[in-house]
Structure 1
Amino acid sequence: MSITAQLRDSVRLPGGRALVNGFALESRRDDPYRALLRNGHELEVYDLRELFAGERAPEAVFPLPWPRWDQGVHSVSPDGTFAVFSGQRSVRATGTDGKTLWEYRHNCWGPELGHPHTGDEQEVCRGSEHGSCRISDDGRLVWAHVVAEPEPGDWQERWVVLDARDGRELAWLPLDSAAAGSNHLSHPDGVHMGLCIGMGQDGILLHWARWDGEKLTSWDLNEDLDRILTDVHPGHPGFLTVEHYGADLRLHALDGTVVAEREPPEPAEGEDEDEAYWDYGCGFVDADTVIASTADSDRYPERARHWLLDAHTLRIRGVVTYPTGPVDGDVRPLGDGTWLTYDDKSETLNRWAQAAPGTR
């Protein structure tokens, strides 16, 4: 079955690709439209609704504390007054004036154990490994994935919980990981935080945790080691994952129980059976609908197809057709009934919704 999409908004946005297949879209339970885009030595914060309405100026701009460090996943407070940056050797909170509010030092993400530093805080060590951080939806906590050295020459990755006011460490968990990178996803219940750690060919680690003010409780879902945390939605108590190599999509309860599972649809005409797999771009269009893409959108963007699925059973409803012609690459849902795509040729960010029946 074919399902027609309707174009809701469109804006030219250089660098907007990171909103669709990166971590520049920092959606929260009350605001799925916040974009964090790096522009030179600055992090620009946009409200996508205002951007689509023609307001081109960012809501806030934060100078990058380490302009030459281009890794890490950063976060901005719900009220937009401060940002927290995941650096190579520290987590740092700054105001819009660039002044440091606090800093939490940790060991270097550089891959060589015990390698020296020159003392220049702008030094970037070899390697692209990085952590991530996330400010909680109430603005009170900072969750961060960092590196520690419990003993000389030892290496341990940790998940730390910091007080957002002063960077004071409240709790931490040891992680059995060797990360290439990571990202956080806050649950819309305002309590739970998810952490997805990519380890390259060694797989994926997935953790959930909560901090009640006194105790840090966590659990992992790593029997498989290969599930990527993709999305959550206020209409669902759990979360959505995709298998590392695209073998299936799964809807989980928060404790990890699999509620529904779906293998990829049959390959398109001219594609091999081995090319039938889910891509990383998937999530909740709304409480009842999931959108997911097939084919490798990075290597073969022209083969990408977008599918709408039932959000409770993952039954495939149909493939999306676009009135403008085929849409290449990834898709990023906003949870409010719409989703984003990006056109690299025109550097245009587009927002779509399912067209009403009978609409062409």
Structure 2
Amino acid sequence: MLEARLVATAPAPLDPVRADPPVVTGSLLIQRGDTELAAADLAGRWPPRQFPAPWPRLFGTVAVSPAGDLAVFAGVHALRAVDAGGGLRWELRHGCWSAAACDLAHVSFAEYAGDTGHVYAGRGSVAFSPDGRRLWAHVRSGAHDEQWLVVDPADGTVLARAATGTAGSASAPVPHPDPAFMGLTVDEEPPSLWGHVDGGELRVRRFDAGVLLAATPSGAHLLATDAGQGTLTLHRAADGLPVGRLRADAAVPALPGEDQVCWDVEAAAPWDDAAVAGTEDFTGPVRHWLVALPAMTVRGRIDYPFPVAGPARPATPGRWWTLAPDGAAVHVWTLDRGPDV
């Protein structure tokens, strides 16, 4: 086995009983509660802080700027930007994510807080570019079609937009080292979207990948899996061309009593020549594997010094993170890689 080396452990800033599990985005630790969002910089560049939440956590997603000075909440009816002092920076209203096809321009959360169609509405997503100068947002228009926006986070100005051609209930962005690019998975179904903003134009390429997982540190490749999670695929970022595949059932042994092996729907690509991908093992311990890129071969199973939970997820280059089994902390890891690792 390959021995994972612990880089850092960070406790969850909010009580896991009343908040979502903490997550790491780059070097940021964020955790969403119903009334607040807690954020901390694992690199120690700024002190921990909290942002007041405009609506409970069931009603959308959120992103925090790399500098920690702005949180953008993506809700059922609007994007709302809140600064580090708790003040409203800007709001950008959009069509409703409710499956009930709500056509009302709700001004406040109180107007739809108890409506079942809104409680169980779909959701878009938001993500900052690595330099913090762009915000990418997946929203619905007033006509209920879905759009991808590139927004100036300073004032909420829409810099570019494009139709996604999707009809989803959830989405997940995949950042790229180049701030002009972003990936987007909608409902874990193909096609995945790859966006490139150039001036006021957003060009979107579609390629046949169910779930985008991560970009390599150089940005040259994208790791993905299919909707059935049977195959890992490495794509060239420049044109989306698949350059390597790895079937789970051919590379990883099934657990006793199990008849198939599936990849997790999250993974990390900490190095240009290696990824850390897990298999969905509901009845046994977490199993994470080091996958050589672009050869797409398993180099070995990763061993942790204590129990961890869930998939391997991207952190900063050379590192990935996992969740503690009780959800009360995150652990950041690396490998001391020799010539054969």
> For the residues of structure 2 that align with 1:115 and 1:301, how far apart are their CA atoms?
45
Q: Which residue of 2 aligns with 1:240?
A: 223
Normalised TM-score (structure 2): 0.85
Q: Which residue of 2 aligns with 1:273?
A: 259
Q: Which residue of 2 aligns with 1:339?
A: 320
Unaligned runs of 5+ residues in structure 1 are 28-32, 52-56
Q: Which residue of 1 aligns with 2:199?
A: 213
> For the residues of structure 2 that align with 1:48 and 1:354, how far apart are their CA atoms?
19
Q: 1:108 aligns with which of 96, 105, 126?
A: 96
> For the residues of structure 1 that align with 2:327 and 2:160, how far apart are their CA atoms?
46
- The answer to whether the 8 A contact 1:279-1:294 is kept is yes
- The answer to whether the 8 A contact 1:93-1:101 is kept is yes
The reply to whether residue 171 of structure 1 matches residue 160 of structure 2 is: yes
The reply to whether residue 46 of structure 1 matches residue 32 of structure 2 is: no
TM superposition shift of 1:218: 1.7
Question: Higher mean Cα deviation, 108-117 or 211-220?
Answer: 108-117
Moved over 4 A (4+): 14-17, 115-119
**SS in structure 1 opposite 2:58?**
coil
Q: Which residue of 1 aligns with 2:273?
A: 288
TM superposition shift of 1:321: 2.1
The reply to whether residue 75 of structure 1 matches residue 73 of structure 2 is: no
Q: Give a deviation string over 1:223-268, Cα, whole Å, max 9, x none.
A: x4x5201111223412111112211101111121011111112433
The reply to whether residue 139 of structure 1 matches residue 132 of structure 2 is: yes
TM superposition shift of 1:329: 2.9
Q: Which residue of 2 aligns with 1:61?
A: 50
Q: Which residue of 1 aligns with 2:146?
A: 157
Q: Which residue of 1 aligns with 2:29?
A: 35
Q: Give a deviation string over 1:161-215, Cα, whole Å, max 9, x none.
A: 223232222332112222121122221022211111116xxx3441112222132
> For the residues of structure 1 that align with 2:88 and 2:255, how far apart are their CA atoms?
56
Q: Which residue of 1 aligns with 2:302?
A: 320
- The answer to whether the 8 A contact 1:4-1:354 is kept is yes
Whichever residue aligns with residue 284 of structure 2, its letter is E
> For the residues of structure 2 that align with 1:234 and 1:142, how far apart are their CA atoms?
20
**SS in structure 1 opposite 2:23?**
coil
- The answer to whether the 8 A contact 2:24-2:321 is kept is no
Alpha carbons of structure 1 residues 134 and 11: separation in structure 2 relative to 1, 3 Å: closer
- The answer to whether the 8 A contact 1:307-1:318 is kept is yes
The reply to whether residue 195 of structure 1 matches residue 188 of structure 2 is: no
> For the residues of structure 1 that align with 2:131 and 2:337, how far apart are their CA atoms?
36
Q: Give a deviation string over 1:26-77, Cα, whole Å, max 9, x none.
A: 22xxxxx1122114411111112449xxxxx9533211122x2534332222
The reply to whether residue 304 of structure 1 matches residue 297 of structure 2 is: no
Q: Give a deviation string over 1:140-168, Cα, whole Å, max 9, x none.
A: 32221111133xxxx21111222323222
Q: Which residue of 2 aligns with 1:30?
A: none
Task: State the percentage of identical aligned residues.
Answer: 29
> For the residues of structure 2 that align with 1:112 and 1:284, how far apart are their CA atoms?
39
**SS in structure 2 opposite 1:331?**
strand
Alpha carbons of structure 1 residues 120 and 337: separation in structure 2 relative to 1, 3 Å: closer
Unaligned runs of 5+ residues in structure 2 are none
Write out aligned runs for 1:215-230 (5 A). 215-221=201-207, 224=208, 226-230=209-213
Q: Give a deviation string over 1:286-336, Cα, whole Å, max 9, x none.
A: 22221111124xxx1634311111122121101122333x54432224243
Whichever residue aligns with residue 278 of structure 1, its letter is W
The reply to whether residue 257 of structure 1 matches residue 241 of structure 2 is: yes
- The answer to whether the 8 A contact 2:268-2:320 is kept is no
> For the residues of structure 2 that align with 1:191 and 1:94, how far apart are their CA atoms?
24
Whichever residue aligns with residue 48 of structure 1, its letter is L
Alpha carbons of structure 1 residues 88 and 137: separation in structure 2 relative to 1, 3 Å: same
Alpha carbons of structure 1 residues 69 and 108: separation in structure 2 relative to 1, 3 Å: farther
Alpha carbons of structure 1 residues 302 and 13: separation in structure 2 relative to 1, 3 Å: farther
Q: Number of matched residues?
A: 327
The reply to whether residue 350 of structure 1 matches residue 338 of structure 2 is: no
> For the residues of structure 2 that align with 1:75 and 1:228, how far apart are their CA atoms?
20
